[in-house]
Amino acid sequence: MARIGRRGFVAAAAGALSALAATGDAAAASDRPAAAPPRTGAERREFRGMWLASVGNRDWPSVPGLSAAAQRAELLAHLDSAVARRLNVVIFQVRPTADALWPSPHEPWSQYLSGVQGRNPGWDPLGTAVTEAHRRGLQLHAWFNPYRVANHTDPSLLVPNHPARRNPGWILPYGGKLYYNPGIPEVRRFVQDAMMDAVRRYAVDAVHFDDYFYPYPVAGQVFRDDATYARYGAGHPDKASWRRSNIDRLVSEMAARITKARPGVRFGISPFGVWRNSATDPRGSATAAGVQTYDDLHADTRTWVRQGWIDYVVPQVYWNIGFQAADYAALVPWWADVARGTGVDLYIGEALYKAGTPGQPAPWQDPAELSRHLTLARRHATVRGHCFFSAKEVMTDPAGAMAKVVADHYPTRVRPPS
């Protein structure tokens, strides 16, 4: 397919996995992956990933303000946890709120490191993560949130030289947060420049976007981009179409820029699990979800896959088997059909964080629920792996669901798809 030909991604460039035991034997101590073992015709490849979230100190660092040594030790512990669970990919959130976990010339150091936005933490988390992941035979995917600026609505709380303060016309408050306005071409170019700095400077294996494009809808609130639409929306039948075009441009342009700068780097997106319900669109899934990415987030995720603009897609299918509004057993085959024949790899995002959590539906109280997900997904050849949200639960595994997945499905370490 066009996407495969354009990227020509080779697994050896991203990193080869050593044959490691569950306890995680030491990999070659270099800043690039160890040499690949001899390949056999029967070798199995599978994406086994985890998200490592920094926003709000969700997974790492555990709290802001730790010393550089303590932050580094926590980060390495998460990488070692991935090895112990026989995973092969870590998706590391390096731009959570228009900030950076590397010395960026475009945006300030993240407050989630030191507790103060713009303060140098005394080390380079992204550079360290790339080096140490590769030493362990893990791929490191750099996870960026394109448009979220802050988890509050007061620009004066941002550092004085923050791009959002220098360009106040770029931002909009919504739902208790600040966002860059996706409809402004200068914004789209800027966020791409900020992300591409990391791509050019570090040997990341992939660029990864999550599910936040236009913000999730909040009852009674309006994303006030009427003036932007009036200025830039010519040629579009309505604002929704124009908004989708803005996000389409972000994705397609970012894909082209990654390929031009670093042809071996992949591009993946992890959207909300429902594109559209079949009651809205006959091409949609047999679901009745309250949010549809096409209509509510203005993210036409199906088109991105069908057009081959991305290398892989990880829909967040965060519901149990049999959940009425969005059944895991209905969504996985729908996504498998969307990806079939496109050359875009399909991995399923798994809600490990729900396992054993009070208030979740009864199936999530059974540690075997997640293992059943993998059993079901493997009926579909298009599904080439899974990714678990998130690293804290991969490590602590309070309900035993991750251990059950490893015991049932991950007998040895394997390499990710090439």
pTM listed for this prediction: 0.90
Angle between helices 185-201 and 239-261 (to 10 degrees): 30
- Nearest of 316, 278, 284 to residue 300 by alpha carbon: 284
pLDDT of residue 25: 32
Name residue 362's amino acid: A
- For the residues 88-96, what does the mean pLDDT come to? 98
Q: Is 414 inside any structural domain?
A: no
Q: What contacts 2, CB < 8 A, 6 or more positions away? A: 308, 343
Mean of all residue pLDDT scores within the chain:
91
Give the DSSP letter string of 115-180. Answer: SSTT---SS-HHHHHHHHHHHTT-EEEEEE-SSEEESSS-GGGS-TT-HHHH-GGGEEEETTEEEE
- Nearest of 338, 246, 298 to residue 254 by alpha carbon: 246
Q: Is 162 inside any structural domain?
A: no
Q: Is 279 inside any structural domain?
A: yes
Please name every residue paired with 206 in a beta bridge, in sequence order, or none if there are none: 141, 266
The two tokens of residue 173 are: 């408050």
Q: Give per-residue pLDDT as tens, 355-378.
A: 999 999 999 999 999 999 999 999
- Nearest of 262, 154, 142, 126 to residue 208 by alpha carbon: 142
Q: What contacts 417, CB < 8 A, 6 or more positions away? A: 11, 45, 46, 47, 345, 384, 385
273 pLDDT higher than 70: yes
pLDDT of residue 410: 98
User: How far is residue 161 from each of residues 164, 179, 191, 291, measured CA to CA in Å?
Assistant: 8, 17, 16, 36
Q: Give per-residue pLDDT as tens, 279-288.
A: 999 999 999 9
Q: What contacts 309, CB < 8 A, 6 or more positions away? A: 3, 251, 252, 255, 267, 303
256 pLDDT higher than 90: yes
- Nearest of 117, 192, 202 to residue 161 by alpha carbon: 117
26 pLDDT higher than 80: no
Q: Is 373 inside any structural domain?
A: yes
32 pLDDT higher than 50: no
Beta strands in 218-275 (DSSP E): 266-269
pLDDT of residue 149: 98
Q: Is 288 inside any structural domain?
A: yes
pLDDT of residue 44: 83
Q: Is 31 inside any structural domain?
A: yes
Phi and psi (nearest 5°) for 33?
-60, 155
Q: Give per-residue pLDDT as tens, 202-252.
A: 999 999 999 999 999 999 999 999 999 999 999 999 999 999 999 999 999
41 pLDDT higher than 60: no
Q: Which residue has the tokens 């035993």?
A: 400
- For the residues 182-189, what does the mean pLDDT come to? 98
Indicate which CATH number applies to the domain containing 269: 3.20.20.80
Name residue 93's amino acid: Q
Q: Is 349 inside any structural domain?
A: yes
pLDDT of residue 180: 98
Q: Whole domain around residue 347: which residue ranges?
A: 2-147+183-409
Q: What contacts 333, CB < 8 A, 6 or more positions away? A: 380
Q: Is 163 inside any structural domain?
A: no
pLDDT of residue 28: 29
Q: How many domains does the chain have?
A: 1
270 pLDDT higher than 70: yes
* Separation CA 359–CA 292 (nearest Å): 24
Report the b/e string of 168-190 with b at 16+ CB within 10 A: eebbbbbeebbbbbbbbeebbeb
